[in-house]
A and B are shown apart, each in its own frame.
Chain A
């Protein structure tokens, strides 16, 4: 946001003005910049778009209505980042989002409310057994999340390395897992290997409850609720909930873009510089060392450290010449799976839709609606995607941001955010305008099943397919996590065995996006850990 002053340019014609350049002003790039600046490094962030944030942006697509265009809720943002960067002082303000209502096909609903007694009574209505199981399940998931939590905050040690730091890391990890005890270790093992629906079958009997809980296991992946590996994604999302005790789960005032802006403001106050409308064409490499970057407009900017906040495909296959990389790495990155499977529909509304299952306007409009009436419903939605179509009846996670932050829409009017799964990137015939609108129609038609007056309220509709997500944010194949959160793409294998730990084979060239450990979501962990590796 500040251009280098001519005076500064003149004063140092030879020595690079910057110690580090960050490519991409996504929230991870911004976090990385803030930590580097905090350590006294002169840092420049280069962002392609006119605004920072990447997949965490707020834009007025329709006058007077603010949209969290892509990501819409916060749960995973690391508390240490909030503290270290004093993000509340820069505008972070997270508002509570309390309930989840799942409309059922028989006209009833299943709700999870903010109050445990109210929720238990609600579950009792459907299954007294599940009402009790929920308490134990919650406790186990709490322990699982506690078990994984330290891993999120650590640079993944390489198990094939004999370097002292790796051995120390492995020992610490081994000790940590041993301390879990047999029962919890087995539960963790199951979470790492099972499908979310199978895992939940061990706990619950009420199908819509299983469906709603397993839904968080399919978000952002090309997996169905019965695909092995989806249970881990469930855990990944549960992580935010243990920090729920510290009240960091909910909706950012002003939309998710305000989180990016808070991080950017913190970075700037620490001395980082941010330039928008600055597309990096490629990284300058000489003798196996990064030297700086070349912008699309031909400008060259020198720095001994270049950090890519982009996904692995762009980091390795677009920004640098393949010949700078060992052949097997390039191949590994080519095999790294993106397979975007999510879309988003954002609506500007003249009023609130009424849900048949809970008539009227009420507190439930301040929470989420989950369109997940049964496990079979979700699995069928996946079937459509498997064979190259968008789901005719998709899974949806719906919120009304204007009900939580009245500033998101003009008084009395509303915005509605619909996260949709599945919309495969590789749709048969490819995405075009007609298919996008057909997808949008399928979404609205499915919402209308549960909230019939929706259509009459729509003032404006924005439909985003994975192709649109890729085009606007740069996320390859529209994968919301910069690459699937699949076990073979996690921890010391994220993004690839030879390039974990935020390094690349090119000296001085680093990575800090969600494509690195610990992965996607508005978390900031990748940006922070990368900065700590660079500083150390």
Chain B
């Protein structure tokens, strides 16, 4: 037996000292080279319920985070992404994808305007090289602050009540997709009213050294309000209900795709609203303009799978419908009559809506809402088809998200 320590392959987040003892069934998962909780309890039910009924606390530190500053910071981002960064005011946050020259999505994330010349960009994959390539000739400084910055998402209907107990900032005036630089107890944080759940919620950005006290303060204040640490399984259910796309699950980065078919434009990801029609030159502008005029080959939509038809195909085998308790991420064919018209990329039983939901890419014209389609389902090793109806996303969009 060698006594030398074996180096861990995965990094841990600044909140690890607090999250680690809570992962009761060692259900960890990889996220961008980090180890994060899939769930703290063996099943995500209660963690998910906290997102929709109380408040869930999620460690989202593995996101890539870049600090972009200098006189040309806005120009760099504006050149890169599809939304109009010039219109982004200080204290505002934009959700946006960014494309290659052919108008195919590379990644998506948020841009926070911290002050006139300083932005924070988040992304699912590393983008330092792409940022630097786009910055040629511009007066900007790009810093990768991923490891220096801890990030927590506090999501759910009671998130504001809890956070307001801890911060002098007036959260009742902090609008959806706005941020404020403030403190929690005496810890300097940026609070943005953002998240990946489609619910009322906030994300907190903190120096890694102050991460643990921030966690402790939130847990202490939130306990009487049912604050619940939640992992990625719970988040995945919520984001499907909210119809939010996930890189590597619902689409592939144009930088990583092996073949053209694996790429998607923003229009094909239900992100038409993020493509500015009137902003200046930016990556993919020509292709995107052409696609806007000509229409897209694909659409990204929701599927509401008909329960009765599921029951029928399971009953043929003497079983009640059997669905996983966590979201699935295996591509499943979607049919219309004899033809395959697309594929579903992720899906779940929605504990809230009491529906079996999926996110799907469908070819034109089948992505029109209320189109009847069929989803392939494997029942006892046999391929079956369940009826489903095309729905506009999101499935769930409570008024409290923006109120």
Task: Name the CB-closest residue of B to A363.
Answer: B41
Q: Are A93 and B321 in contact (CB under 8 A)?
A: no
Residues of A within 8 A of B354 (CB): 79, 82-83, 87-88, 92, 246-248
Judge if A433 is at the interface, Cβ distance under 8 Å: no
Judge if B46 is at the interface, Cβ distance under 8 Å: yes
What 1/0 flags go to A72-95 for Cβ under 8 Å of B? Answer: 000000010011000111001111
Once bound together, how far apart are the Cα atoms of A229 and B172, in whole Å? Answer: 58
11 extra interface residue pairs, beta carbon distance < 8 Å, beyond A83-B355, A92-B354: A87-B354, A89-B353, A94-B351, A114-B42, A117-B42, A246-B323, A366-B46, A403-B226, A405-B53, A406-B224, A412-B224
Judge if A115 is at the interface, Cβ distance under 8 Å: yes
Once bound together, how far apart are the Cα atoms of A224 and B354, in whole Å? Answer: 37
Counting chain B CB atoms within 10 Å of each CB, the highest count among A82, A88, A98 belongs to A88
B interface vs A, CB < 8 Å?
Answer: 25, 41-43, 45-46, 49, 52-54, 158, 224-226, 307, 320-323, 325, 349, 351-355
Once bound together, how far apart are the Cα atoms of A248 and B353, in whole Å? Answer: 11
Judge if A411 is at the interface, Cβ distance under 8 Å: yes
Q: List 25 A-B contacts (CB under 8 A).
A: A83-B354, A83-B355, A88-B355, A92-B354, A93-B52, A93-B53, A93-B352, A96-B45, A96-B49, A114-B43, A115-B25, A118-B42, A245-B320, A245-B321, A245-B323, A246-B349, A246-B354, A247-B45, A247-B325, A247-B354, A253-B53, A366-B46, A405-B53, A406-B224, A406-B226
Residues of B within 8 A of A245 (CB): 320-323
Once bound together, how far apart are the Cα atoms of A474 and B53, in whole Å? Answer: 33
Counting chain A CB atoms within 10 Å of each CB, the highest count among B49, B321, B323 belongs to B49
Q: Are A95 and B53 in contact (CB under 8 A)?
A: yes
Once bound together, how far apart are the Cα atoms of A93 and B322, in whole Å? Answer: 21
Which of B41, B158, B307 contacts A114, CB < 8 Å?
B41
Residues of B within 8 A of A146 (CB): 320
What 1/0 flags go to A396-412 for Cβ under 8 Å of B? Answer: 00000001011000011
Task: Name the CB-closest residue of B to A114.
Answer: B43
Judge if A242 is at the interface, Cβ distance under 8 Å: yes
Q: Are B52 and A406 in contact (CB under 8 A)?
A: no
Residues of A within 8 A of B226 (CB): 403, 405-406
Question: Distance (Å) between the CB of A407 and the closest chain B CB?
Answer: 8
Known: A246-B321, A406-B226. A88 touches B45 (CB 8 A): no
Do most interface residues of chain B lie in helix, strand or loop, or is the interface mixed? Answer: loop
Residues of A within 8 A of B323 (CB): 245-246
Once bound together, how far apart are the Cα atoms of A83 and B45, in whole Å? Answer: 20
Question: Distance (Å) between the CB of B168 and the closest chain A CB?
Answer: 20
Q: Are B42 and A115 in contact (CB under 8 A)?
A: yes
What 1/0 flags go to A114-126 for Cβ under 8 Å of B? Answer: 1101100000000
Q: Are A242 and B320 in contact (CB under 8 A)?
A: yes
Counting chain A CB atoms within 10 Å of each CB, the highest count among B41, B46, B52, B225 belongs to B46
Residues of A within 8 A of B53 (CB): 93, 95, 253, 405
Question: Distance (Å) between the CB of A111 and the closest chain B CB?
Answer: 15
Question: Distance (Å) between the CB of B228 and the closest chain A CB?
Answer: 10
What 1/0 flags go to A125-147 for Cβ under 8 Å of B? Answer: 00000000000000000000010
Q: Are A115 and B43 in contact (CB under 8 A)?
A: yes
Once bound together, how far apart are the Cα atoms of A117 and B352, in whole Å? Answer: 26
Once bound together, how far apart are the Cα atoms of A170 and B226, in whole Å? Answer: 50
Residues of A within 8 A of B54 (CB): 405-406
Q: Are B353 and A88 in contact (CB under 8 A)?
A: yes
Task: Name the CB-closest residue of A to B319.
Answer: A146
Once bound together, how far apart are the Cα atoms of A140 and B269, in whole Å? Answer: 46
Residues of A within 8 A of B41 (CB): 114-115
Once bound together, how far apart are the Cα atoms of A93 and B25, in whole Å? Answer: 27
Question: Distance (Å) between the CB of B39 and the closest chain A CB?
Answer: 11
Residues of A within 8 A of B25 (CB): 115
Question: Distance (Å) between the CB of B141 and the closest chain A CB?
Answer: 45
Once bound together, how far apart are the Cα atoms of A248 and B349, in whole Å? Answer: 12
Residues of B within 8 A of A411 (CB): 224-225
Q: Are B351 and A247 in contact (CB under 8 A)?
A: yes
Q: Are A95 and B49 in contact (CB under 8 A)?
A: yes
Which of A92, A98, A406 contacts B46, CB < 8 Å?
A98
Residues of B within 8 A of A83 (CB): 307, 354-355
Once bound together, how far apart are the Cα atoms of A92 and B282, in whole Å? Answer: 46
What 1/0 flags go to A236-260 for Cβ under 8 Å of B? Answer: 0000001001111000010000000
Once bound together, how far apart are the Cα atoms of A412 and B224, in whole Å? Answer: 5
Q: Are A79 and B307 in contact (CB under 8 A)?
A: yes
Once bound together, how far apart are the Cα atoms of A365 and B58, in whole Å? Answer: 23
Question: Distance (Å) between the CB of A121 and the closest chain B CB?
Answer: 12
Task: Name the CB-closest residue of B to A254.
Answer: B53
Once bound together, how far apart are the Cα atoms of A146 and B54, in whole Å? Answer: 34
Residues of B within 8 A of A405 (CB): 53-54, 226
Task: Name the CB-closest residue of B to A366.
Answer: B46
**What are the 5 tightest A-B residue pairs by CB atom distance, in nearest-first order?**
A411-B224, A406-B226, A115-B42, A412-B224, A96-B45
Task: Name the CB-closest residue of B to A243.
Answer: B320
Once bound together, how far apart are the Cα atoms of A155 and B216, in whole Å? Answer: 56
Once bound together, how far apart are the Cα atoms of A92 and B322, in whole Å? Answer: 22
Question: Distance (Å) between the CB of B126 and the closest chain A CB?
Answer: 37
Known: A245-B322, A245-B323. A406 touches B158 (CB 8 A): yes
Q: Are A406 and B45 in contact (CB under 8 A)?
A: no
Residues of B within 8 A of A114 (CB): 41-43, 45
Counting chain A CB atoms within 10 Å of each CB, the highest count among B53, B54, B353 belongs to B53
Counting chain A CB atoms within 10 Å of each CB, the highest count among B25, B226, B321, B353 belongs to B226
Once bound together, how far apart are the Cα atoms of A96 and B349, in whole Å? Answer: 15
Which of A89, A98, A115, A247 contacts B349, CB < 8 Å?
A247
Residues of B within 8 A of A406 (CB): 54, 158, 224-226
Question: Distance (Å) between the CB of B122 and the closest chain A CB?
Answer: 30
Counting chain A CB atoms within 10 Å of each CB, the highest count among B320, B352, B354 belongs to B354
Once bound together, how far apart are the Cα atoms of A8 and B278, in whole Å? Answer: 54
Once bound together, how far apart are the Cα atoms of A79 and B53, in whole Å? Answer: 21
Once bound together, how far apart are the Cα atoms of A118 and B25, in whole Å? Answer: 10
Residues of B within 8 A of A89 (CB): 353
Once bound together, how far apart are the Cα atoms of A415 and B290, in whole Å? Answer: 61
Once bound together, how far apart are the Cα atoms of A89 and B325, in whole Å? Answer: 22
Q: Are A88 and B43 in contact (CB under 8 A)?
A: no
Task: Name the CB-closest residue of B to A409.
Answer: B224
Residues of B within 8 A of A115 (CB): 25, 41-43
Residues of A within 8 A of B352 (CB): 88, 93
Once bound together, how far apart are the Cα atoms of A405 and B226, in whole Å? Answer: 8
Residues of B within 8 A of A93 (CB): 52-53, 352
Once bound together, how far apart are the Cα atoms of A18 and B353, in whole Å? Answer: 33
Residues of A within 8 A of B52 (CB): 93
Once bound together, how far apart are the Cα atoms of A134 and B355, in whole Å? Answer: 30
Question: Distance (Å) between the CB of B63 and the closest chain A CB?
Answer: 29
Residues of A within 8 A of B320 (CB): 146, 242, 245
Question: Distance (Å) between the CB of B315 and the closest chain A CB?
Answer: 10
Residues of B within 8 A of A79 (CB): 307, 354
Question: Distance (Å) between the CB of B274 and the closest chain A CB?
Answer: 28
Once bound together, how far apart are the Cα atoms of A95 and B352, in whole Å? Answer: 9
CB within 8 Å of B: which A449-470 residues: none
Question: Distance (Å) between the CB of B35 and the closest chain A CB?
Answer: 21
Residues of A within 8 A of B322 (CB): 245
Task: Name the CB-closest residue of B to A405.
Answer: B53
Task: Name the CB-closest residue of B to A115.
Answer: B42
Counting chain A CB atoms within 10 Å of each CB, the highest count among B225, B320, B322, B352 belongs to B320
Residues of A within 8 A of B158 (CB): 406
Once bound together, how far apart are the Cα atoms of A406 and B321, in whole Å? Answer: 32
Once bound together, how far apart are the Cα atoms of A279 and B352, in whole Å? Answer: 35
Once bound together, how far apart are the Cα atoms of A96 and B53, in whole Å? Answer: 11
Residues of A within 8 A of B351 (CB): 94, 247
